[in-house]
Amino acid sequence: KNEVEQSPQNLTAQEGEFITINCSYSVGISALHWLQQHPGGGIVSLFMLSSGKKKHGRLIATINIQEKHSSLHITASHPRDSAVYICAVTRTYKYIFGTGTRLKVLA
Amino acid sequence: DAMVIQNPRYQVTQFGKPVTLSCSQTLNHNVMYWYQQKSSQAPKLLFHYYDKDFNNEADTPDNFQSRRPNTSFCFLDIRSPGLGDAAMYLCATSRSTSGRAGEQFFGPGTRLTVL
């Protein structure tokens, strides 16, 4: 079993829909990260969380430390949001990556 | 803007011909990482430098080496590339203090093709 699990693995949505991607982890962490990777591209950091909730534009990330669970929400989704979203947790100096969620938003 | 730069963005090499990938950063971060990412997979950490200290992952093949001549630059050397080494190679940096890692900042990656 992976230490970081994401669901769903694949997600197709219509433009404008509210999207939720979930991440569960089984190890002690110092922080949790949500990352975005467009096809063939590098990785962009969206959020770094150690507690509570953060918002940036149409993106919202939450974390529940007791339940070892985090969610990434995208409001009013747009085709440019199509990408792979990766949850990663920090242990000492390393990231432990989830398997990623491939999101496709249709116009 | 402070950033992580990788050169080249695309590299084609022949089977067995040594290749060097380059990463530079203007963030003045003390930790630099090299990852290998194959299609539809999560990045796999190859090694990292904490300041000048080199840390190899246990399952990184000997074919992969790294150099960090100064804070700003880090190189990935693949001594004898095989077809299985074709992948995206990502460099990342972070600022770490007291053994705890900060957020990692990734470069755009170098896509390596082995013919």
State pLDDT tens for residues A10-35.
Answer: 999 999 999 999 999 998 888 999 99
In the predicted structure, residue B7 carries a pLDDT above the cut 80: yes
Q: Between chains, do A97 and B42 touch, taking CB under 8 Å as contact?
A: yes
In the predicted structure, residue B16 carries a pLDDT above the cut 70: yes
Instruction: List, in order, residues 6 or more apart from A30 with CB less than 8 Å away.
Output: A50, A90, A91, A92, B100, B101
Q: Which of B9, B32, B104, B113 to probe by mutation at the A interface, max A CB count within 10 Å? A: B104
In the predicted structure, residue A3 carries a pLDDT above the cut 70: yes
Q: Between chains, do A93 and B108 touch, taking CB under 8 Å as contact?
A: no
Q: Between chains, do B108 and A98 touch, taking CB under 8 Å as contact?
A: no
Residues in B closer than 8 angstroms to A5, CB to CB, are none
Instruction: List, in order, residues 6 or more apart from B5 with CB less than 8 Å away.
Output: B23, B24, B25, B26, B107, B108
Name the β-bridge partners of A5. Answer: A24
Percent of chain A with pLDDT over 90: 83
Report the alpha-carbon angle B86-B90-B94, nearest 5: 160
Interface of B with A (CB under 8 A): 31, 42-43, 45, 48, 50, 88, 90, 92, 94, 96, 99-101, 103-109, 111
Residues in B closer than 8 angstroms to A41, CB to CB, are 108-109
In one letter, which amino acid is B62? D
H or E element in which residue A46 lies: strand A43-49
Give the separation between CA A45 and CA A10, rounded to whole angstroms. 20
Q: What is the pLDDT of residues A69-103, one digit of tens each?
A: 999 999 999 999 999 999 999 987 889 999 999 99
Q: What is the pLDDT of residues B62-113, one digit of tens each?
A: 999 999 999 999 999 999 999 999 999 999 999 987 767 788 999 999 999 9
Residue B61: predicted pLDDT: 94
Residue A28: predicted pLDDT: 82
User: Which one-letter DSSP state was computed for residue A41?
Assistant: -
Q: Which of A93, A94, A96, A104 to probe by mutation at the B interface, max B CB count within 10 Å? A: A93
